[in-house]
Amino acid sequence: MSFFDTMPWMIWIVTLPLTAAILTFLIPQIAAGLTLLMGFTMSIPALGLCMQVVRMGSQRYAIGGWGAPLGIELYADGLAAVMIALTALVGLSTTVYARSYFSHTHPINDRPERPSTDYFWPLWMFLWAALNALFLSGDIFNLYVTLELTSLSAVALVALAGGAALKAAMRYLLVSLLGSLIYLLGVVYLYAFSGTLSLSALGSRIDGSLACLTALALMAGGLIMKTALFPMHFWLPPAHASAPAPVSALLHAVAVVKA
């Protein structure tokens, strides 16, 4: 077996941007350069995971040696590998653009009281880690957790611009929390019916009963709010329009809606 086949790429895909988020927060002087380096580095584990999935099929990794249903299990299939690869590609492009953008308009907007961009880089790295963890989630509760982490990071990025962006970010936060609550109610209802949260186990236990349909309706309703599908799209235009250009690119091309 080759080097690419034996490495635990799923762990690196989550821990690398998470480590970068911590470092860029603690040492803001190196934030822009470290984030750019991380953008290039993330292509390696993304490529490695794609090669593993192509050669050996779907991959599983039990964190701490505890697999489902007791522990957290990461799962990568073809769709997850493609999404992680696309995130790495678009994330690198956005990072390069953001560094150039903020170097010319530093800090984050043109008002005299404009806030520092120091928080943009750690929030972006944290968002990247949350996205990758979401794509690798193997159960519906971990999907809820990673969706929350993704949404909170995105809301904070929108709020960085200040001014009108704060109102848009607050609306975004409230809608996102409401959607998450509705989704979580569906998860609880489904767990009460099936006794499991694992996506693979649910495949053999769910049916067309009223309980399953109710859980499906709740989970779909919550995700419709978070995805800004009509008619629950009212929060999206103000949030994206008032955010700085790199943040809007992250929200549109990389982050929350696609996830």
What pLDDT digit, counting tens, does each position of 35-60 carry?
999 989 999 999 999 999 998 888 88
pLDDT at residue 233 is higher than 90: no
User: Diameter of the chain by CA atoms?
Assistant: 59
Q: pLDDT tens for residues 76-87?
A: 899 999 999 999
**Of 89, 125, 127, 100, the residue nearest 251 (C-alpha):** 127
Instruction: Give mean pLDDT, residues 57-80.
Output: 78
* Distance, CA of 12 to CA of 241 (rounded, Å): 34
C-alpha distance from residue 197 to each of 67, 80, 159, 191, 206 (Å): 12, 19, 34, 6, 11
CB-based contact 68:198 (threshold 8 Å): yes
Q: How far apart are CA 34 and CA 28, in angstroms?
A: 10
pLDDT of residue 225: 86
Which residue in 46, 44, 45, 20 sits closest to 34, CA to CA?
A: 20
| Buried residues in 60-87 as b, exposed as e (16+ CB within 10 A) | ebeeeeeebeeebbbbbeeebbebbbeb
Q: Among all chains, which residue has been given the structure tokens 């996506």? A: 199
d(CA 129, CA 45): 13
**Whole-prediction pTM value?**
0.87
Task: Give the three-class secondary structure for 70.
Answer: coil
Count of other CB atoms within 10 angstroms of residue 148: 18
The span from the CA of 184 to the CA of 218, in Å, is: 8
- pLDDT number for residue 111: 46
In the 8-state DSSP scheme, what is residue 250? Answer: I
Note the pLDDT tens digit of each residue in 142-161: 889 999 999 899 888 888 87
How much is the pLDDT for 7?
A: 82
Q: Tokens for 233, please give them.
A: 């799209």
